[in-house]
């Protein structure tokens, strides 16, 4: 443990240089050429760190990267490390949010969520080889390109790797204070469409069926499905409808954000949302969509968190746990029953925000923790 701490402390400047390199590439989720170039960069760096790397072609989004690494026992199920390299920041953000270090904080677009974690993984692999650490099982690192936009092209790959693995470490940013995430809400979006009948609003208003009026009834019914005590929320965040002020609208569409702590609540919402009925005579209601990330429940994280707390103490780290309403790829693996721990990146703040940053003095400790987990679990 002492070796790990000093090893990464001595390489803090190298880590920062690598973090700067990664942050300054700019990798928004929808820019396939930039994403593919970044995947190639990761291929080269992880290969140099000793991993066997595959760049997995992706026709519609950026290519994904899978690295396999063994330094010891190769017969046990691997540990799975999950990362993503896409960010929410558009190209050109570096002009207004340059990489910089001020008062112990390193700033830059995507530095906290989650380019720094890519550097941790790379240097973790290097440490295992250079310190000749025998691992009890192989390590698989899966780095995906579309987490920020729902993991549509990577979910099946994530679940496939998780089912082969003993446990999953998700390198997302931690909660404030470096708190590990042991629960995440399941998230999703429903689309609700109301269909009425068009008519002239002045000449034949009563021959029409107002789809917006029907939608107003549905919005109230949808919000009534929330359960504050259970932490279940529904928010109608977008509505479109109508064609002109003098036409009774024949159609309206609403997008509904949905978040739940448990699969039982997810099942209830799917059932009740799909059972919505029209209020106005002659109107129709159509519902589509649902949850795209199941909840990460503490039943999938508690035992692993307790072990990691013990692993962290000799490194001088006292880990706390918390929960968040946002989802990650750990939601998928936890829902499969694979022990999962999330929020293992470097402490900082401001994911997706102007002040996004990491705490420089925390880099070495979290890198040491990553290798210590590989060594002990």
Contact assessment for residue 83 and residue 171, using Cβ atoms and an 8 Å cutoff? yes
Three-state SS string across 324-358, please?
ECCCCCHHHHHHCCCCEEECCCCCEECCCCCCCEE
Residue 115: its pLDDT value, please?
98
CA 279, CA 72: separation in Å to the nearest integer? 65
Reported confidence tier of residue 325, pLDDT bands at 50, 70, 90? very high
Report the pLDDT averaged over residues 330-340. 97
Say whether pLDDT at 245 is over 90: yes
Model's pTM, two decimal places?
0.92
Q: Residue 179 class from Cβ within 10 Å (0-12 exposed, 13-18 middle, 19+ buried)?
A: middle
The three-class DSSP label of residue 93 is: helix
Q: Residue 89 class from Cβ within 10 Å (0-12 exposed, 13-18 middle, 19+ buried)?
A: buried
Say whether pLDDT at 149 is over 70: yes
Reported confidence tier of residue 128, pLDDT bands at 50, 70, 90? very high
Residue 21: its pLDDT value, please?
98
CA 307, CA 304: separation in Å to the nearest integer? 5
Question: Residue 222's closest CA among 269, 280, 291, 188?
Answer: 269
H-run or E-run covering 41: helix 32-48
Q: How far is CA 268 from the centre of its chain?
A: 24
Say whether pLDDT at 108 is over 70: yes
Where are the chain's structural domains?
2-184+295-376, 186-293
Q: pLDDT, tens digit, for every residue of 20-75?
A: 999 999 999 999 999 999 999 999 999 999 999 999 999 999 999 999 999 999 99
Q: In CATH, what number does 186-293 get? A: 3.30.70.360
Tell me, which fold does domain 2-184+295-376 have in CATH?
Aminopeptidase (3.40.630)
Residue 231: its pLDDT value, please?
96
Q: pLDDT, tens digit, for every residue of 193-221?
A: 999 999 999 999 999 999 999 999 999 99
Q: pLDDT, tens digit, for every residue of 63-100?
A: 999 999 999 999 999 999 999 999 999 999 999 999 99
CA 77, CA 99: separation in Å to the nearest integer? 38
CA 8, CA 123: separation in Å to the nearest integer? 8
Name residue, tokens 């790959």: 157
Contact assessment for residue 356 and residue 318, using Cβ atoms and an 8 Å cutoff? no
Report the share of the chain in percent with pLDDT over 90. 99
Which residues, listed in sequence order, are joined to residue 291 by a DSSP beta bridge? Answer: 188
Q: Tell me if 2-184+295-376 shares its fold with 186-293.
A: no
Residue 3: its pLDDT value, please?
87
Report the pLDDT averaged over residues 120-145. 97
Residue 2: its pLDDT value, please?
62
Q: Up-side HSE of residue 357: CA atoms within 13 Å toward CB?
A: 17
Identify the sign of the CA torsion 101, 113, 86, 88: negative
Residue 6: its pLDDT value, please?
93
Q: For all residues of the chain together, what is the average pLDDT?
A: 97
Residue 167: its pLDDT value, please?
98
Name residue, tokens 């949010």: 97
CA 115, CA 148: separation in Å to the nearest integer? 13
Say whether pLDDT at 329 is over 70: yes
CA 157, CA 82: separation in Å to the nearest integer? 11
Residue 117: its pLDDT value, please?
98
Which residues, listed in sequence order, are joined to residue 66 by a DSSP beta bridge? Answer: 54, 142
Residue 376: its pLDDT value, please?
97
Say whether pLDDT at 1 is over 80: no
Q: Up-side HSE of residue 152: CA atoms within 13 Å toward CB?
A: 8
363-376 and 116-130 helices cross at what angle (nearest 10)? 60
């Amino acid at each position: 443990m002492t070796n790990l701490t000093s090893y990464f402390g001595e390489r803090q400047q190298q880590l920062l240089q690598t973090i700067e390199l990664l942050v300054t590439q700019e990798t928004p989720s929808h820019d396939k050429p930039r994403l593919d170039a970044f995947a190639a960069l990761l291929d080269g760096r992880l290969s140099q760190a000793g991993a066997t790397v595959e760049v997995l072609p992706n026709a519609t989004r950026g290519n994904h990267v899978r690295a396999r690494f063994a330094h010891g026992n190769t017969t046990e199920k691997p540990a799975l490390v999950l990362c993503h390299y896409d960010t929410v920041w558009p190209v050109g953000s570096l002009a207004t949010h340059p990489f910089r270090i001020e008062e112990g904080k390193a700033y830059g677009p995507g530095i906290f969520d989650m380019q720094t974690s890519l550097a941790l993984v790379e240097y973790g692999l290097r440490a295992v080889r250079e310190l000749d650490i025998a691992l009890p099982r192989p390590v698989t690192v899966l780095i995906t390109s579309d987490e920020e936009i729902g993991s549509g092209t990577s979910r099946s790959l994530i679940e496939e790797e998780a089912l082969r693995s003993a446990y999953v470490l998700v390198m997302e940013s931690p909660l404030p204070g470096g708190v590990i995430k042991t629960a995440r809400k399941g998230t999703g979006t429903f689309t609700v469409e109301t269909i009425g009948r068009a008519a002239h609003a002045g000449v034949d208003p009563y021959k029409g069926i107002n789809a917006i009026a029907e939608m107003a009834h549905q919005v109230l019914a949808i919000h009534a499905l929330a359960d504050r005590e259970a932490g279940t929320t529904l928010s109608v965040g977008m509505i479109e409808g109508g064609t002109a002020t003098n036409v009774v609208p024949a159609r309206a569409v609403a997008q509904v954000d949905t978040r739940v702590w448990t699969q039982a609540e997810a099942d209830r919402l799917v059932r009740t949302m799909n059972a919505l009925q029209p209020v106005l005579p002659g109107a129709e209601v159509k519902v589509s969509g649902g949850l795209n990330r199941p909840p990460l429940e503490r039943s999938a994280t508690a035992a692993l968190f307790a072990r990691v707390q013990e692993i962290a103490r000799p490194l001088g780290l006292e880990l706390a746990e918390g929960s968040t309403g946002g989802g990650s790829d750990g939601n998928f693996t936890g829902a499969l029953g694979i022990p999962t721990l999330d929020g293992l990146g470097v402490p900082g703040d401001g994911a997706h925000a102007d002040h996004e940053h990491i705490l420089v003095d925390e880099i070495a400790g979290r890198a040491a923790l990553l290798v210590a987990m590989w060594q002990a679990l």
